Amino acid sequence: MNPPPVKRSLSPHPVLPAHYGAEEDRVGYVRGLFDRTAESYDRINAWMSLNRGQHYRRDAMVRAGVREGQRVLDCACGTGVMAAHAQRLVGTSGVVVAIDPSLPMLAVAGTRGVQNRVSGTAERLPLPDASVDVVTMGYALRHVADLGVAFAEFARVLRPGGRLLVLEMVPPRSPVGHLLAKLYLKHLVPTLASWLGGSGDARRLMQYYWDTVDQCVAPGVVIDALQDAGFVSVARSVKLALLTEYTACRLDDDRS
């Protein structure tokens, strides 16, 4: 029998002094930003992704095997884009639970038709053991407090053989690609965000967005942390040099 998985303490990125002063300040800083920009977040994101973000999320869930009748957890659901797509994929015979620490974000998700909205964090999921078939997370890995604890929680709530899908952004490896991504995401998008969002918070949020993308731990570290949490068949695929899909499976009990 394999030993129990080790819960590694692992921050998704180092302290970012331009935004907050110490690691213990990060969670409150991020939650405050999302709370104050919830109403404008979708407008900013639609422009940033050239209105292709929703289609990409849905296609990624289909590739990950989300289907009719399943019970799906969308962790850090934000405004509910992935959760709404998941509801349509699982149909009336399935259930989608959308979890986020930001109440304003959950309120926006409700206007999108997301039904089961719960306040919570990735590190302490308010769900029973082995209660969902799929866990999804869209572009929020950089915002959790501890990757090791979050991944252990994902493994806990997944049923044996259940699947995990994590979407993220990773800066391009080529110098030219990295420069173009930085110009777009750190400078152009924040300027637009301040106009669309009508506040300095919207601009700060998108500047923070790029800084977390640029400083996030390497994909290999994420893959190792998933394996340490007990996941198998861990894989990563890259789309358009910037978009990353991490997929993994919870170990079947009869293989432990």
Burial class (CB in 10 A: 0-12, 13-18, 19+), 4: exposed
pLDDT band at 194, cuts 50/70/90? confident
Q: What is the pLDDT averaged over residues 53-76?
A: 94
What is the average pLDDT value for the chain, to the nearest integer?
Answer: 91
Residue 74 in this model has a pLDDT that exceeds 80:
yes
DSSP string, 63-91: HTT--TT-EEEEET-TTSHHHHHHHHHH-
Q: Which of 1-10, 155-164, 175-184, 195-204 has the lowest mean pLDDT?
A: 1-10
Residue 116, strand partner residues:
97
User: Phi and psi for 200 in degrees, rounded to 5?
Assistant: -65, -25
pLDDT, residue 3, reads 44
Could you report the per-residue pLDDT of 200-256, keeping only the tens digit for each? 898 899 999 999 999 999 999 999 999 999 999 999 999 888 899 999 999 876 544
Top CATH class of 49-134+142-170+216-255 equals alpha beta
pLDDT, residue 2, reads 45
pTM of the shown model: 0.91
pLDDT, residue 253, reads 63
pLDDT, residue 133, reads 98
- Give me the residue spans of the domains in the chain: 49-134+142-170+216-255
Rounded distance between C-alpha atoms, residue 145 and residue 123, angstroms: 7
